[in-house]
Amino acid sequence: MRLFVGLGNPGAKYANNRHNIGFMAVEEIARRHGFAPWRRRFQGATSEGTFDHEKVVLLRPMTFMNESGRAVQEAANFFKLGAGEIIVFQDELELPPAKVRVKVGGGIAGHNGLRSVSEHIGNDYRRVRLGIGHPGVKELVHGYVLSDFAKDDRPWVEALCAAVADNAGLLASGRDSTFQNKVHLAMQARGFASKEGDGDKQD
């Protein structure tokens, strides 16, 4: 069994924020794979389904970003899951827009959602880092992540969430590198891959 956690803030005010791309990704997984309707539990909203007989629970914490770990810990305790069975989808300032990286553990780079999750379940969970780019100046970060994606961003955001959802079964079975490669190739095919040409690496 796997717990897929999308990080974001609840409510219509935040729905299209850059900080909410984690929510967008798990919502697209539920939509594309016919998961059960969302329901309120574990201080969040959950939807359940399967990939190749592997049960997956999607979780959107409704505690606001800074307290995301409370919901994750409650769900993990209920299902008796260790950190290695939890995958967190998050916005990543240090990656170019439309880029994806999967990693286990590591630093939190000032991400309050990751900080809260690590405080509650330890640091050894997997992160699906969804690149949103950086505003260039540290002082602008707060306003940048809490503002909506620009209209011009919507095509790649939708394409990225679709590519992540289409290949989410690979994450459930632990094939992180294959997942990363397939998402990169899907984005390249749609004309959205960045020019770095390093979609097959993990950092």
Tokens of 38: 């969302």
| 33 in catalytic set | no
Among candidate residues 19, 111, 120, 184, the one labeled active-site is: 19
* Alpha carbon distance 171, 87 (integer Å): 8
d(CA 184, CA 167): 11
E-only strand ranges, the chain: 2-6, 39-41, 44-51, 54-61, 86-92, 100-104, 126-131
Give the Cα separation of 168 and 40 in Å (integer).
Answer: 23
Catalytic annotation, residues: 19
